[in-house]
Amino acid sequence: DAGVTQSPTHLIKTRGQQVTLRCSPKSGHDTVSWYQQALGQGPQFIFQYYEEEERQRGNFPDRFSGHQFPNYSSELNVNALLLGDSALYLCASSQTGSNQPQHFGDGTRLSIL
């Protein structure tokens, strides 16, 4: 039973570029959440997708956008990258209504030069 998978593992971009990160949820899960974890900090909630729509959003600018596909996989897009966007981006999946906690992937390490 595959867990949450994220790609790529590492990514290096320059300021002003755009990036797309991908996530496949754990089998049987229909909800995907994205978090940003800066060095030395706890994960910060970006947004959550369910039924292909953004259901909740944290305190992140519109440069951060996402998408969920019919197979429940998800993408996180970040435009106009800033140095401060350097972080580990985590995807977590869960099953709505199951009263079960979120399961996390290994993350994508994004470095902005």
Partner 1 sequence: AQSVSQHNHHVILSEAASLELGCNYSYGGTVNLFWYVQYPGQHLQLLLKYFSGDPLVKGIKGFEAEFIKSKFSFNLRKPSVQWSDTAEYFCAVNAYNFGNEKLTFGTGTRLTIIP
- Interaction of residue 102 with partner 1, rule CB under 8 A: yes
- Which of these segments, 12-20, 29-37, 61-69, 73-81, binds partner 1 (CB under 8 A)? 29-37
Residues making up the chain, counted from first to last: 113
Q: Which two tokens stand for residue 80?
A: 């106009």
Site for partner 1 in 53-92 (CB under 8 A): 56, 58, 90, 92
Q: Which two tokens stand for residue 24?
A: 């496949």
* Separation CA 14–CA 2 (nearest Å): 33
Q: Which residues bind partner 1 (CB under 8 A)?
A: 3-4, 31, 33, 35, 40-45, 48, 56, 58, 90, 92, 94-107
